[in-house]
């Protein structure tokens, strides 16, 4: 009876995961092993050509030549997603600790401000950075007004602008998990450490960081995964000059009309993220459960 009750309580979440995650992934997996239709979509017969296309380029005579074009796109996406995660962590940890150290009423206000961007559409927030960073934008006007530059500085359509947009978009996903773990820290541990003549660096290394690692790991996954597949920031802030994984998938499903190849890239990215999540979930389980 208890098990049946647990399954009934889990049913809504399992149904949601099945409809909005499992089913689309299975459809993408099936599409990745089919043949591209000339007018978009997929058709029979089954083929592994989409996966071969990631590493090999087919010449007119049918011979295959090794290419690193898509590997470079994947590598560039991984690097930018990693830098986004590292930058978000560097900003989010002190921000979360600052919020934890405030009074309860101030915490509520600060958490509201952190979550406020979620109330605005991501497209609108990203496009606002275009207005800020363009040659006639607010940032260049401030730099020229302060006498820092004599002419507009190119701040848009480069990797730096993409990275800035990704950090701004996904920073709350890092702050909130870290805050949830730091909030449960017993401040008496920190007081005891100071009584034993520990400095701030030692308190951080021996107390705060070990206790906050579950939140850091959760925040890293929540930032890295969507940053890896993001296409709004690369398109709007990067000008589409350098493709990332998200932009590549979007192009293959639209103008490229190569649904199997787009599905294959999406399957590879999703598989990598799921493996990382499974590893983290296994590391977070108690030792007794791992050996059960």
User: pLDDT per residue over 129-168, tens digit each?
Assistant: 988 988 888 888 888 888 888 888 888 888 889 999 999 9
User: Tokens 């960073």 identify what position?
Assistant: 133
**Other C-beta atoms within 10 Å of 29: how many?**
15
| Contact present, 156 and 199 (Cβ < 8 Å) | no
User: pLDDT per residue over 84-134, tens digit each?
Assistant: 999 999 999 999 999 999 998 899 999 999 998 888 888 888 888 988 988
Structural domains in the chain plus CATH codes? 47-56+66-284 (1.10.3720.10)
Q: How far apart are CA 70 and CA 134, in angstroms?
A: 29
Residue 257 Ramachandran class (φ > 0 left, ψ -120 to 50 alpha, else beta): left
User: Tokens 């730096």 identify what position?
Assistant: 160
Task: Please list the residues that pair with 43 across neighbouring strands.
Answer: 35
User: pLDDT per residue over 253-264, tens digit each?
Assistant: 888 888 899 999
User: Tokens 């773990």 identify what position?
Assistant: 181
Would you state the structure tokens that stand for residue 63, as one six-digit string? 């011979």
């Amino acid at each position: 009876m208890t098990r049946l009750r647990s399954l009934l309580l889990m049913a809504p979440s399992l149904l949601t995961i099945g409809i909005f995650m499992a089913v689309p992934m299975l459809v993408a997996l099936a599409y990745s092993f089919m043949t591209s239709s000339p007018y978009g979509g997929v058709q029979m017969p089954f083929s592994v050509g989409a996966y071969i296309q990631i590493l090999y380029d087919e010449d007119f005579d049918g011979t295959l030549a090794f290419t690193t074009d898509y590997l470079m796109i994947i590598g560039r996406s991984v690097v930018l997603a990693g830098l986004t995660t590292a930058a978000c962590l560097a900003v989010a940890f002190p921000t979360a600790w600052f919020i934890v150290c405030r009074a309860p009423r101030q915490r509520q206000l600060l958490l509201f401000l952190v979550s406020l961007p979620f109330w605005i559409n991501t497209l609108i927030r990203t496009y606002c950075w275009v207005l800020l960073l363009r040659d006639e934008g607010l940032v260049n006007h401030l730099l020229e007004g302060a006498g820092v530059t004599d002419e507009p500085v190119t701040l848009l359509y480069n990797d730096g602008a993409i990275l800035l947009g990704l950090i701004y978009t996904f920073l709350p996903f890092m702050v909130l998990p870290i805050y949830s773990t730091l909030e449960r820290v017993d401040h008496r541990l920190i007081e005891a450490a100071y009584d034993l003549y520990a400095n701030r660096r030692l308190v951080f290394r021996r107390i705060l960081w070990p206790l906050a690692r579950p939140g850091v790991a959760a925040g890293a996954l929540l930032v890295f995964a969507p940053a890896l597949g993001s296409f709004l920031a690369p398109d709007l802030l990067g000008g589409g000059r350098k493709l990332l994984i998200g932009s590549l998938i979007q192009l293959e499903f639209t103008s490229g009309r190569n649904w199997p190849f787009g599905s294959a890239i999406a399957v590879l990215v999703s598989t990598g993220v799921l493996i990382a999540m499974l590893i983290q979930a296994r590391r977070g389980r108690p030792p007794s459960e791992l050996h059960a």
